[in-house]
């Protein structure tokens, strides 16, 4: 099934507004997925941090970003993998 690219209504001004919705992140995520596919990639690693930076320069709540990524995972039906960076910081 092809990715449908429909920008959120506020896409033209979202970089100026203080609120960014999960729709903005989903749109950017789908753009990145499509670009990778068009370049012949069979997989791509997209972190929530990188996606957040691409939408708002990293100045946003991660909740909407993670929500968008989770919806895309559920819709793909492929599941999710998590890569943990080691060593991990110790939490006090």
25-72 pLDDT per residue, tens: 889 999 999 999 999 988 888 888 888 888 876 555 678 888 888 888
Domain that holds residue 41: 22-76
Alpha-carbon span 11 to 58, nearest angstrom: 17
Domain count for the chain, please give it.
1
Global pTM value? 0.66
Does residue 3 belong to any structural domain of this protein?
no
Does residue 70 belong to any structural domain of this protein?
yes
User: Do 33 and 44 touch, CB atoms closer than 8 A?
Assistant: yes
Residue 66: its pLDDT value, please? 85
CA 2 → CA 47, 74, 92, distances in Å? 22, 16, 46
Does residue 90 belong to any structural domain of this protein?
no
């Amino acid at each position: 099934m092809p990715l449908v690219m429909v920008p959120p209504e506020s896409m033209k001004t979202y970089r100026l507004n203080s609120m960014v919705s999960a729709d903005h992140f989903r749109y950017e995520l789908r753009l990145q997925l499509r670009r990778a596919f068009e370049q012949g990639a069979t997989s791509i690693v997209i972190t929530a941090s990188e996606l957040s930076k691409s939408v708002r320069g990293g100045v946003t709540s991660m909740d909407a970003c993670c929500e968008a990524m989770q919806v895309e995972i559920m819709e793909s039906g492929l599941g999710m993998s998590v890569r943990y960076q080691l060593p991990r910081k110790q939490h006090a």
